[in-house]
């Protein structure tokens, strides 16, 4: 399995929980929405950790620079965390319109972010880290298991 395949699967895993939360909130099923959104946030933080603690540092070391795509991705992670918090606040008050609005903004941002990673960063990582790809994936999976 390539880094691209592994991380793209991670994106899809997070999307499942997002869609469950959005659907439940639109139906006014707040307990299900809270549970799904909690799983979504946990999955996203786990995904961010895999990238920020393993993939990005390894990529930067092999690439010889901390500037470039990983810097942009880290900044976007912070923006998504802020959007996730705003959606959580709306969910906490069971405000359907606010939650769905925040969630829609988050979804659009995630889609753009994921496309950049899947079309640019991950293929670059596959190339630059080819010799250690399996080790990188293994170290990322170790984060997921904690």
- Residue 79: alpha-carbon gap to chain centroid: 11
CATH of the domain at 122: 1.20.120.520
Q: Which two tokens stand for residue 3?
A: 């880094």
- What was the pLDDT predicted at 146? 74
> Consecutive sets of 10 residues in the chain, 146 residues long: mean pLDDT of each?
95 96 97 98 97 96 83 96 97 96 96 96 95 94 86
**Structural domains in the chain (count):** 1
Burial 70-96 (b: 16+ CB within 10 A, else e): beebeebbeebeebbebbeebbeeeeb
Domain housing 75: 3-145
What's the predicted TM-score (pTM) here?
0.93
């Amino acid at each position: 399995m390539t880094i691209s395949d592994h991380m793209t699967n991670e994106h899809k895993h997070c999307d499942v929980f997002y869609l469950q939360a959005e659907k439940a909130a639109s139906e006014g099923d707040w307990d299900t929405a809270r549970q799904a959104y909690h799983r979504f946030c946990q999955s996203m933080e786990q995904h961010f950790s895999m990238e920020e603690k393993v993939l990005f540092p390894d990529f930067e070391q092999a690439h010889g620079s901390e500037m470039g795509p990983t810097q942009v991705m880290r900044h976007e992670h912070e923006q998504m965390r802020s959007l996730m918090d705003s959606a959580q606040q709306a969910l906490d008050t069971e405000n359907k319109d606010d939650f769905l609005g925040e969630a829609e903004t988050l979804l659009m941002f995630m889609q753009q972010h994921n496309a950049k990673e899947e079309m640019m960063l991950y293929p670059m990582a596959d190339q630059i880290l080819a010799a250690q790809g399996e080790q990188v994936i293994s170290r990322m999976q170790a984060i997921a298991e904690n």
